[in-house]
C-alpha cells in the first residue's frame, strides 16, 4: 500500500482511498487528477483485490486514456488495465459484444466525417442534388440535429426496418433534408456503419430493451470512474446512471471552473448538482497545483473568482516563484504580433526551444497577423487547426486499405480501388455498382465475380484483388503496424507519393505508422486490426500533437487538457475574447472559464496581449474585461493604459452587461419542448443559443431551423406561455 499512496498529498490520498459509494472530486487545474485516478485504480486492484476487468475509467480523449493505461501498468505491474477510454470507445466495446441484441454484426464500421461525406456524395449523385441544395457540412449538422432532437428514435428504423424498406423511404422522400436524412440512414445500414451519435444511442437502446444485457454490464462494472466530469453531456449522463445502478460505486472528477463546452451539450450543473442527484455524496476538493508558478495561479484565481456559478476554491502553487504575468497593449494587430515575435526570440536566447512555446487565441482569425510576422521573422510554427490529422487524404487512404482488408466495405473500396491508378474509372465503377445492386452484394464481391469480364481488360483489377485477398487471409497473424507498412508498400501507394514529390504526405504516413506502433505498445496486449479500426475513427487532432520543434498556434478549446511551459494569449479584446456573441450572464461566465483554462495551460511564463483597431461592425476595439478582472497587482503592464482607453472600455463593458438577458427570460423552455409560434406554427426546440439569446426551433414543414429570440411569443403545446 505504501507504494501506491506514497507521494500523494492529503486530498489526493483521501480521493484514492474513498472507494465505496458516490464520490465527487473537485479537482482544480493542475492538481494531479490523473495521478489520483490512476493511483485509485491501482489501489482498487492491488490493495482491495478488484479485478481490472471490473473497473471502468472514462476519459474524454484517447491521449489521456493512453497516459492513464501507462501509469496504471507501472503501478500495478499488470498489463490488464480494464476498461479505460472515452464514452464512445466503451460503447464500441459494448456493441462488439452485444450488437446481436439489435441484429448488428460485431464487425460494424465506426464512421467519421470523411466517411459521412463519402456517403453523402453517393446520395447527391443518385438524387441529383448539388451543394446549392446543402453543403456537406450543413448536411452533417442537419443529420446530427435531427438524430438528437427531431427524430430521436431514428435508430429504431435503422434496427427494425429491412434494408429494402429503408431504401424505399429514402427514394420516396422529396424534401432535401428528408432525402439526405433517410439516404444517410440507408447508407449506414447498408454497410452496418455507426457514427458517434449512434454509438451511445444504440448502447442505451440495448440497455433499454434487454434487461439481461444491461444487468450483465452493471454487475461487471463494480467501480466506475469518470474524468473531466464537467464536460459530460445528457446522453453520457444517462449512460453513466444506467451503468452505476447496481453496485452504486461512482467516482467523478472534474472542475466546474473548466466547463467550456456548453455549445455541445455540457452543463456545469451536472457537477454542481451531483450531490443533489445522488445520495450520501462525499466531496473532496483538490487545490494544490503542480503545474504553474505562483504568479500564474494568482492571476488565474483572481480572474475566475468573478464567476458566481462555481465551487469556491483557490489554487495553491507547489512550484517555486517565476516571473510576473506580463500584459502588453498594442496599437495595431500587427504591432501585437511583432511584440509576441520579439518576446519569443528573447525566450529562445535564454535556451527555450520553440516547441516549448504556445500561442493561444479565442478564434482562428486572430492567428493571421501572427503567422505573417512569424514568416517574416523566420519563426517556425505549426497551426493546430484545419483538416484533422485523421481526415487528411493520405491518412484516410491508408486506413481505407486496412478497412477493406478487414471488412470489404463499399466506402473503402470506392476510395482505394483506383488509388494508385488502376484504370478503374467511372464507367467500370458504374458497372460494378449495377452488378452489386442486382445481386445484393458488396462492390468488392462484384469485382471478384466479374473480374474476367471484357470490361476489365487492360486494368489492374485482378492484381488489386490478389493484393487485398492475400492480406485478408493473413492479417490476423500480423501486427497492425507491420500490416500497414506492407500494404502501403505493396499497393504502390507510397511509390505514387514519392513520384509526385509529396513529401509532406509521406511524412504524415510515417507519423501514422508511428502512432499505430505507439498504440500497440500503450495497450500492452495484442491489438487486432478490427480493434484498432473500431477506435481510430474516434481519434482527434490533439491525439497526435507533433513533436516538431516549432511554436504551436491553437485555439483555447483545442488546448484543453494540455499544458505548455510558455504561453501567449493573444487577441484579448472585447468582441474577440469574450466573443461578441456573448449575450447572457451565464455565457459570459463560460467565456471567463475559457480564459481561466487558457491562463492555467501555462507552466513557467504567461503573456497576455491585445490590440486596438476596429471590429467588423466598425466599433472601437478595447481591451478585454478579463484583463481588468485580474487584480492589477497580479499583472505586470508593459505600459500604463490611458485614462481615455480605460473609460471607453468601462463604458463598453457596462453597456454590454446592461443588455444581457436574465435567466428568467429563457428558462421557460427546454430542448425537446414542443412549441407554437403565432406566425410560424408548431415546432420543437432543438437548441438554446445563449450567446444570441435565442431558441433554435425546427418548425414543422420547414427544412431548416429558425433562431427565435428569448423575448418572442412562444407557447408550449401544453398551453403554458413563455415569459415576455
Whole-number Å distance between alpha carbons of 359 and 258: 19
- Asked if residue 689 has pLDDT above 80, the reply is no
Residues identified as active-site:
33-34, 227-228, 258, 601
Q: Backbone dihedral region of 705: left (phi > 0), alpha (psi from -120 to 50 degrees) or beta?
A: beta
Whole-number Å distance between alpha carbons of 619 and 615: 5
User: According to the model, what pLDDT value does residue 633 have?
Assistant: 96
Least confident residue range of 213-227, 594-608, 696-710:
696-710
Instruction: Give the mean pLDDT of 550-579.
Output: 94
Which of 239, 213, 207 is CA-nearest to residue 226? Answer: 239
- Asked if residue 723 has pLDDT above 80, the reply is no
Write down the mean pLDDT value for the chain: 89
pLDDT tens digits, residue range 3-54?
889 889 999 999 999 999 999 999 999 999 999 999 999 999 999 999 999 9
The share of the chain scoring above pLDDT 90, in percent, equals 61
Instruction: Give the mean pLDDT of 698-712.
Output: 84
Measured CA to CA in angstroms, residue 228 lies from 14, 304, 324 at distances of: 19, 18, 29
- Asked if residue 664 has pLDDT above 80, the reply is no
- Asked if residue 191 has pLDDT above 60, the reply is yes
Q: Are 395 and 512 in contact (CB under 8 A)?
A: yes
User: According to the model, what pLDDT value does residue 552 have?
Assistant: 94
pLDDT category at 389 given cuts 50, 70, 90 is low
Question: Which is higher by pLDDT, 168 or 688?
Answer: 168
User: According to the model, what pLDDT value does residue 218 have?
Assistant: 96
pLDDT category at 692 given cuts 50, 70, 90 is low
pLDDT category at 668 given cuts 50, 70, 90 is low
pLDDT tens digits, residue range 282-299?
999 999 999 999 999 999
- Asked if residue 649 has pLDDT above 60, the reply is yes
Instruction: Give the mean pLDDT of 528-557.
Output: 75
- Asked if residue 88 has pLDDT above 60, the reply is yes
- Asked if residue 663 has pLDDT above 50, the reply is no
pLDDT category at 690 given cuts 50, 70, 90 is low
The share of the chain scoring above pLDDT 70, in percent, equals 93
User: According to the model, what pLDDT value does residue 250 have?
Assistant: 97
- The residues with which 575 forms a beta bridge, in sequence order, are 579
Length of the chain: 724
- Asked if residue 523 has pLDDT above 80, the reply is no
User: According to the model, what pLDDT value does residue 547 have?
Assistant: 54
- Asked if residue 67 has pLDDT above 70, the reply is yes
Question: Which is higher by pLDDT, 20 or 723?
Answer: 20
pLDDT category at 107 given cuts 50, 70, 90 is confident
- Asked if residue 100 has pLDDT above 60, the reply is yes
Whole-number Å distance between alpha carbons of 353 and 373: 19
DSSP codes joined into one string, 86-144: -HHHHHHHHHHHHGGGGT--TTPEEP-HHHHHHHHHHHHHHHT--TTT--HHHHHHHHH
User: According to the model, what pLDDT value does residue 410 have?
Assistant: 92
- Asked if residue 510 has pLDDT above 60, the reply is yes
Pairing of the two strands 55-58 and 223-226 = parallel
Helices 529-536 and 87-98, packing angle to 10 deg: 140
User: According to the model, what pLDDT value does residue 1 have?
Assistant: 47
Amino acid at each position: 500500500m505504501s507504494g501506491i499512496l506514497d507521494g500523494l498529498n492529503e486530498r489526493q490520498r483521501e480521493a484514492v482511498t474513498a472507494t465505496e459509494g458516490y464520490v465527487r472530486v473537485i479537482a482544480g487545474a493542475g492538481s494531479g487528477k490523473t495521478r489520483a485516478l490512476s493511483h485509485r485504480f491501482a489501489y482498487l486492484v492491488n490493495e482491495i483485490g478488484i479485478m481490472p476487468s471490473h473497473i471502468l475509467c472514462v476519459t474524454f480523449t484517447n491521449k489521456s486514456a493512453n497516459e492513464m493505461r501507462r501509469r496504471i501498468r507501472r503501478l500495478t505491474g499488470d498489463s490488464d488495465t480494464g476498461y479505460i477510454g472515452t464514452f464512445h470507445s466503451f460503447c464500441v466495446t459494448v456493441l462488439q459484444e452485444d450488437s446481436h441484441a439489435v441484429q448488428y454484426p460485431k464487425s460494424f464500421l465506426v464512421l467519421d466525417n470523411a466517411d459521412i461525406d463519402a456517403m453523402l456524395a453517393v446520395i447527391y449523385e443518385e438524387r441529383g442534388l448539388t451543394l446549392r441544395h446543402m453543403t456537406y457540412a450543413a448536411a452533417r449538422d442537419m443529420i446530427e440535429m435531427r438524430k438528437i432532437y427531431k427524430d430521436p428514435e431514428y435508430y429504431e428504423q435503422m434496427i427494425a426496418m429491412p434494408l429494402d424498406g429503408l431504401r424505399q423511404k429514402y427514394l420516396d422522400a422529396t424534401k432535401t433534408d428528408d432525402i439526405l436524412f433517410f439516404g444517410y440512414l440507408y447508407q449506414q445500414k447498408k454497410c452496418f456503419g455507426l457514427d458517434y451519435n449512434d454509438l451511445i444511442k444504440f448502447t442505451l437502446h440495448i440497455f433499454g430493451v434487454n434487461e439481461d444485457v444491461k444487468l450483465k454490464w452493471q454487475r461487471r462494472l463494480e467501480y466506475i470512474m469518470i474524468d473531466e466530469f464537467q464536460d459530460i453531456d445528457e446522453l453520457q449522463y444517462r449512460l453513466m446512471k444506467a451503468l452505476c445502478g447496481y453496485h452504486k460505486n461512482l467516482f467523478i472528477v472534474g472542475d466546474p471552473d473548466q466547463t467550456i463546452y456548453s455549445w455541445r451539450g455540457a452543463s456545469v450543473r451536472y457537477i454542481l448538482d451531483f450531490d443533489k442527484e445522488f445520495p450520501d455524496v462525499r466531496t473532496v476538493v483538490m487545490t494544490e497545483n503542480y503545474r504553474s508558478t505562483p504568479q500564474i495561479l494568482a492571476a488565474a484565481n483572481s480572474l475566475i473568482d468573478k464567476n458566481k456559478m462555481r465551487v469556491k476554491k483557490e489554487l495553491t502553487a507547489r512550484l517555486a516563484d517565476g516571473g510576473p504575468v506580463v500584459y502588453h497593449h498594442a496599437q495595431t494587430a500587427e504591432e501585437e504580433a511583432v511584440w509576441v515575435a520579439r518576446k519569443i526570440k528573447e525566450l529562445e536566447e535564454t535556451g527555450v526551444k520553440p516547441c516549448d512555446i504556445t500561442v493561444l487565441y479565442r478564434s482562428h482569425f486572430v492567428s493571421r497577423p501572427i503567422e505573417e510576422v512569424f514568416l517574416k521573422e523566420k519563426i517556425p510554427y505549426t497551426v493546430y487547426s484545419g483538416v484533422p490529422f485523421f481526415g487528411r487524404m493520405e491518412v484516410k487512404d491508408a486506413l481505407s486499405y486496412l478497412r477493406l482488408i478487414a471488412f470489404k466495405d463499399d466506402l473503402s473500396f470506392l476510395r482505394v480501388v483506383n488509388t494508385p491508378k488502376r484504370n478503374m474509372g467511372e464507367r467500370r465503377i458504374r458497372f460494378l455498382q449495377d452488378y452489386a445492386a442486382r445481386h445484393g452484394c458488396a462492390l468488392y464481391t462484384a469485382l471478384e465475380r466479374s473480374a474476367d469480364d471484357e470490361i476489365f481488360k487492360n486494368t489492374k483489377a485482378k492484381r488489386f484483388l490478389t493484393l487485398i485477398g492475400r492480406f485478408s487471409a493473413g492479417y490476423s497473424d500480423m501486427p497492425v503496424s507491420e500490416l500497414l507498412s506492407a500494404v502501403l508498400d505493396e499497393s504502390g501507394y507510397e511509390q505514387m507519393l514519392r513520384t509526385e514529390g509529396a513529401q509532406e504526405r509521406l511524412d504524415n504516413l510515417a507519423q501514422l505508422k508511428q502512432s499505430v506502433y505507439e498504440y500497440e505498445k500503450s495497450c500492452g496486449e495484442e491489438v487486432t486490426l478490427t480493434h484498432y479500426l473500431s477506435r481510430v475513427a474516434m481519434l482527434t487532432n490533439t491525439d497526435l500533437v507533433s513533436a516538431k520543434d516549432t511554436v504551436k498556434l491553437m485555439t483555447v478549446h483545442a488546448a484543453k487538457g494540455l499544458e505548455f511551459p510558455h504561453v501567449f494569449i493573444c487577441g484579448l479584446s472585447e468582441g474577440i475574447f469574450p466573443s461578441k456573441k456573448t449575450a447572457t450572464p451565464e455565457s459570459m461566465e463560460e467565456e471567463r472559464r475559457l480564459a481561466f483554462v487558457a491562463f492555467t495551460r501555462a507552466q513557467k511564463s504567461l503573456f497576455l496581449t491585445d490590440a486596438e483597431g476596429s471590429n467588423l461592425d466598425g466599433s472601437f476595439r478595447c481591451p478585454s474585461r478579463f484583463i481588468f478582472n485580474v487584480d492589477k497587482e497580479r499583472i505586470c503592464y508593459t505600459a500604463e493604459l490611458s485614462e481615455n482607453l480605460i473609460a471607453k472600455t468601462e463604458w463598453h463593458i457596462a453597456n454590454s452587461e446592461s443588455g444581457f438577458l436574465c435567466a428568467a427570460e429563457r428558462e421557460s423552455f427546454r430542448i425537446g419542448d414542443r412549441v407554437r409560434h403565432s406566425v410560424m406554427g408548431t415546432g420543437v426546440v432543438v437548441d438554446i443559443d445563449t450567446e444570441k439569446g435565442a431558441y433554435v426551433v425546427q418548425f414543422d414543414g420547414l427544412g431548416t431551423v429558425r433562431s427565435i429570440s428569448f423575448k418572442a411569443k412562444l407557447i408550449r403545446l401544453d398551453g403554458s406561455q413563455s415569459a415576455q
